[in-house]
Structure 1
Amino acid sequence: MPGYRKLFVLVGIAAFFAFSSLPTWAGVIIGGTRVVFPAKAREVTVRLQNKATDPALVQAWVDNGDERSSPDTADAPFTLSPPIFRMEPGKGHSLRLIHTGEPLPTDKETLFWLNVLEVPPKPKDAAGQNILQFAFRIRIKLFYRPENLAYASVEAPQKLTWTLIREGQEVQLEVTNPTPYHVTFSDVALVSGSQRFAKREAGGGMVSPGEKTRFPIVGVDASAKELTVEFKTINDYGAMVSANAHLTH
């Protein structure tokens, strides 16, 4: 599944103006939608690019799943070099992720999150004014992947098992992941002939190693026959891969 941007209001603001008058910032992008950190690697490099016409101050950190994390509160066994840097307009920058050596599970992946916070410059015509200024955060998945796992990550989606759960009027599709990999979905649906029943929530989802996840499905009734599962997963390179599976009972 792709990373998302969150807005953080910077402190020290006394005045507010309409969002329609805000300039378009958030020019710093990451070269990829996820990072795979092989256990045998000493470090991994992530490329950033500033697509904006203005410079930006960038701060980066890794957390273990807390969306509200900050560089001061994040708790993850990685250091970043450099953690704070300036990016000139139209330029790229290499961000080094280094594992501290803290022991992590050797039989399955561990999920962390890479955060990149971009603080745009103060508008040149705002000297002496109190303004509302925004910072933009990109947050993408970071998978720490042990060596010598039983099979390749591309095989994981086909090893998932799917079960239809009926609870009263609600129908849920339960996926079980027996693999050592996290499997991220961009789409999940049930199919019966020419009928396609989508999951209730828009967007994707994820099932962790050895775990189960449920997707509420809309519109399925008791008369639907020969149901199969159609789903799309996101691979290590951020590409969507289509697959299908039969239900287990």
Structure 2
Amino acid sequence: MNIFEIFQEDFLYHEYQPLHYLREGQPIFAYEALLRNLSKVNPEQVFQTATRANILYKLDSVSIHKAVQTFANRIGHGQEHLFLNIYITTILHPNFHKFFEHLVESFPSIVQHLYLEVNESSAEEMWQNNLLKESMNNLREFGVKFAIDDFGQGSSSLKKAIEYQPECIKLDRFFASNLSKDERKQRFLSFFHSYFGKDTFIVLEGIETFEDLKVAEQLGIHAGQGYYLGKPAELAIGS
């Protein structure tokens, strides 16, 4: 892949996957913006290429700006939130807070609808950076919220949830797989909801069947994401 293609106008775009409230009759809670490209290169490969070329921050910030710009047209048509994946290195980058301040000034309606989604399996040394909590709290002053993604993959998941106090936790798809038949997973989700559910919005990722959906709902999980609930698709402007 030609690295210069990444930043050509309209080479990058997003598809948006819905996150649904699990109570029947409730509207869509949010959309997660998923980076795509016209060459159909695997997004992970795009980010790996950017990392090797030392332009990961630039790619991440371009992706964030494009997703916000698209989603801002939807505000006023609904109360959905936007989930944006972000690298810890981007949060810690010396230019990011200025970038984010400019983003808020350009799209002021987006802030109360925005979740920055940090992958739980990011390198432990990143999570242990003393500046991370301060940087996250500074961004919260704009009204942005944080989500921990793929929760349960890392080596110290509960510690991160307690220490960083994310507004949302997205449980890894492992917990959704065969949930309706796995009593251990059911007991864990019941415990997890009783411990975190009062203060933290809980999303179960990877819901693929009606049976697993209904059990997650019965266990009190707030929202779900997965192909059974909706596949990623481009977002119609002003819809």
Q: Higher strand share goes to which structure?
A: 1
TM-score by length of 1: 0.25
Greater helix share, 1 or 2? 2
- Scaled by the length of structure 2, the TM-score of the pair is 0.26
